[in-house]
Chain A
Amino acid sequence: MHSSVNTSANHPYIPSTDSERAEMLGVIGVDSLDGLLGDIPPEQRHPKLNLAPGLSEQELSAEFGAIAAENASSSSGYISFLGAGSYNHYIPSTVRSILQRGEFVTAYTPYQPEAAQGTLQVAFEFQTVICQLTGMEVANAGMYDGPTAFAEACLMAARVTKRTKIGVLASADSRLPATLLAYSKYQAIEIVSIDSQATEIPDDLACIGIQSPNFFGEIEDVERLTDLAHANGALSVVHVNPIALGLFRPPGDFDVDIVTAEGQPLGVPMAFGGPYVGLFACKKAHVRQVPGRIIGRTIDTKGRTGYALTLQTREQHIRRERATSNICTSTQLIGLMVTVYAATLGKQGIKDLANLCYQKAHYAASEIDRLDGFSVDSTGAYFHEFVITCPDSPSKINAALLDEKIIGGLDISDRSDNGMLVAVTETSSRADIDRFVAALSKIGAAS
């Protein structure tokens, strides 16, 4: 199908004018664009494209305003108690401000380090922050998200131990083993479930993959499970919540081998699921098996400090089919947000924030536990998420809550009868929590 290309369309994003194009075509030595497309089969050239005409910026804004208005969020008066891997935290003004800097936003991957010292030094700071939070020796510059970081960590454990069986605790978020399965399906890897209370494990595991706090919000006995793994020649892979690390002992205290996490809680908007950043840290001894980019410090020809990508021979652009991972573009700008966030909260802020989330969650839990028909199921220590058993199906409860502009916790009745996973962060005021509790009480009484 032939459709004429409008060569006089001048769009704000496309500077060349008709006369400039004509001049360039003259230099090239052809009459028109078609003179350059000779290799494209004529029948397939210039197909009809069913796309709407372009919008001005003002019209585009109006369209997006309408799209946004159809979604329920805190900006449209809703309060929410959803967590399960993505959390509503307050994002400091410093993060949004630094994100305005086009030199960070529109820079390329730092393959030419002399032209990217900003990106590289930020990435080095990011690696430092991750090590400080997790207590581990080395960290990479970030992966796609928490679950893919966890999957890559388990595959790394398989490479290091030269074993093919990966154990994942049954209490983990099912998205973790599901993503691991996607990454390992066609490599002779077997995934087995391990109970949190296990005192014995198969002697051919590459690792035990532990999520702590686990899917239900509870802290696992990372020390005991790590010792158990090591006693059987396996590595310990622990997937953490980075805000929880402001309060609870980091995995580095327990001789854990690899740590992963979803970095979203550290200053990244929930944004309907992405983009986020996967955190990845491990023992120095394993650094050559680490996937993803790593930034190192060095000096230039004048002895000045500088930063550059290092240990690149692990990566796809050099090792190709033998690379530690196929990852290329990852999540650098999200890593910048995390770094600014960590610098802003600082030593005291991260502690205060973790404590505040803990306080509000435990308050909410104790209030809900008092309600007729509801009970809080968390048995051990938990951070800011807990499971409640509802008097009726959580989906019904949530439908009723929505009528009150409350987004309830995640329906986890597939894993826990009439179970709802409730998350509370510093963004829920006491009034919000009390409103939630009152609504549950009313709905519970009516059910």
Chain B
Amino acid sequence: MTISTIAANAGDIDRRLLMDRSVPGRKAFTVPESDVSEQALPDAGMLRDDVELPEVSQLEVIRYFSVLSQLNFSIDTNFYPLGSCTMKYNPKINDELSNLPGLADIHPLQPDETVQGAIRLLKNLQDDLGEITGLPGVSLAPLAGAQGEYAGLLITRAYHDARNDSERVVAIVPDSAHGTNPASAAMAGLEVATVRSDDQGNVDVENLRELADSRTAVFMLTIPSTLGLFEPNILEITKIVHDAGGLVYADGANLNALLGIVKLGDLGVDICHSNLHKTFSTPHGGGGPGSGPVMVSDELAKFLPKPVAEKTGDGYVLATPEQSIGPINGFHGSFSIAARAYAYIRALGLEGMQSVSENAVISANYIQARLKDKYDLAADRYCMHETVLSATRQKKRGVAGLDIAKRLLDFGIHAPTMYFPMIVDEALMVEPTESESKETLDHFIAVMRQIDDEIDSAPELVLDAPHDLPVTRLDEATAARKPVLRWTAEE
């Protein structure tokens, strides 16, 4: 089933913007009259004329945004096998509970004694994340994975600065790394050295041994890797880095494969981050908000960004660790996202947590097993929670990974992650998650097989896809050459 048959079949959907629908004098809201004596305004020269904002009725607001929502794919309406994004069910109870009065309406600067419940929630979540990752020092301050990653690198630099080791300015990053890894490293003033992956998608250990030296600050590794594979040589890898005097940072984007299966801290990892909006079910929101807590070993906890929730004799406080890298944003992190993640962990409990990864791994391997006769695998071995297919065979027959992704949309299935990791040709990264039923997996498999057949029997179906959505392929070249980035009045 495609998205919103109403929208898709309604002929041309009215895509006019709010300013084009505005009629002078209409309003959607009434601000109360002032109940205080009239106060003198500042000098007229400081005051503005009208703000150009829409003038529509309240029903028009509701209808406009409601119809727009129907143009979206979403987890609530579609299967979203996006590798490394962990598009699992976002439990509705979490949205409800995080919006409770007493949680949604507390100010970040209220005295600690007036927000004991909130700080207790943060402390409990810190403890749970520390337990799950095996890295007990936790700060929930980072507002997204990239910020958690950056905080991890600041901690790395603070650690080496405290040891008076100013030579350590290199971050080693695999060639399969997510773009934020080198971007964050550059922001932290680190040079990026790239370590090769071997033909099995593993870190080339000998190459790493050559690269790790007295200039190595940190080795940044995604575990499992961006190919959905677990490093068989992980213990040797972390030892090489430690022997060279560097730290090991794990990008925890793929943590959904590891819950209850292995703790990062047990593998020699010193620092990691997690994405609450991936592994811990908080909603993606169309591009955020997320939360990227950073977890570290005991030795590094003193460098964590502020604030860290702590339990004292009297109660709970928001504290600043003794050698903290300081604040990295305005307040305390994404509190209502943390609240949702905490609700999720409490709802699953120990057995549920272990079940998540078990099912995520089995489902991904099932898809891999049932598609590998038609689609090349990036690496011919069991995967973890995601499988990376390569559309190389399809490319030879005239259809690229991108075309397959667009054709999937016609079946109401969001495309897998495309063209990533960069070391795999025509990559299609598929992550079903544990939320999806076997019927959904079987349907996906059947559709992928059908599309493969269509390449020969009806190639235009694939090349011109999508056909059944509110728009066909968009002219992104013109959008970049002549950017139109806001509404303007027609002349």
Contacts and interface: CB of A to CB of B under 8 A. Distances in A.
Given A86-B109, A108-B284, A128 B19 contact: yes
B260 interface: yes
A73 B102 contact: yes
A57 to B, nearest CB: 5
Given A175-B330, A300-B473, A249 B352 contact: no
A145 B58 CA distance: 28
With a 10 A CB-CB cut-off, give which of A20, A313, A350 has the most chain B CB atoms.
Answer: A20
Most buried by A among B332, B348, B435: B348
A358 interface: yes
A330 B288 contact: yes
Interface stretch (B60-68, B392-400, B448-456): B60-68
A35 B289 CA distance: 37
11 contacts: A28-B366, A98-B69, A112-B409, A113-B471, A121-B71, A123-B287, A128-B486, A271-B98, A326-B183, A330-B287, A346-B28
A88 B107 contact: yes
A344 B28 contact: yes
Interface string B82-115: 1001011111010101111111111111110011
Contacts of B485: 124, 127, 138-139, 287, 294-297, 310
Contacts, number: 689
A132 B39 contact: no
Counting from the closest, the 8 A-B pairs by CB-CB distance are A54-B349, A273-B331, A186-B189, A333-B285, A68-B102, A70-B117, A75-B101, A273-B108
A63 interface: yes
Contacts of B131: 49-51
Contacts of B475: 298-301
A324 B20 CA distance: 33
B353 A49 contact: yes
A134 B328 CA distance: 26
Contacts of B327: 175, 178-179, 182
A164 to B, nearest CB: 13
Contacts of B284: 106-109, 329
Contacts of A97: 62
Given A47-B266, A300-B475, 16 more contacts: A9-B354, A36-B361, A40-B261, A47-B263, A51-B128, A51-B131, A64-B103, A144-B329, A186-B188, A247-B41, A249-B48, A310-B480, A316-B146, A325-B183, A349-B31, A363-B37
Interface stretch (A77-85, A198-206, A225-233, A368-376): A77-85
Interface string A270-310: 11111111000000000100000111111111101110101
Contacts of B192: 321
B476 interface: yes
A60 B287 contact: no
B263 A51 contact: no
B27 A346 contact: yes
A14 B434 contact: yes
A11 B28 CA distance: 43
Interface stretch (B149-157, B205-213, B242-250, B295-303): B149-157
Interface stretch (A334-342, A385-393, A438-446): A334-342
Contacts of B163: none
Contacts of B78: 115
Residue among B229, B235, B418, B487 facing the most chain A CB atoms (10 A cut-off): B487
Given A14-B435, A148-B330, A101 B66 contact: yes
B187 A326 contact: yes
A160 interface: no
A319 B186 CA distance: 11
B133 to A, nearest CB: 10
B347 interface: yes
- Most B CB within 10 A of own CB, among A65, A94, A121: A121
A134 B212 CA distance: 49
Given A51-B345, A272-B106, A426-B32, A66 B48 contact: no
Contacts of A308: 474, 476, 479
A20 B359 CA distance: 10
Interface string B449-491: 0000000000000001010011111111011100111110000
Contacts of B349: 51-55
Given A145-B143, A326-B149, A115 B336 contact: no
A76 to B, nearest CB: 6
Contacts of A128: 17, 19, 486-487
B107 A272 contact: yes
B222 interface: no
Contact of A25 (B56, B70, B362, B478): B362
Interface in B296-341: 305, 325-337, 339
A138 to B, nearest CB: 5
Contact of A274 (B73, B103, B183, B334): B334
B378 interface: no
Contacts of B474: 113-114, 298-300, 306, 308
Given A114-B409, A131-B486, A275 B289 contact: yes
A101 B40 CA distance: 43
Contact of B73 (A116, A183, A246, A398): A116
A68 B117 CA distance: 6
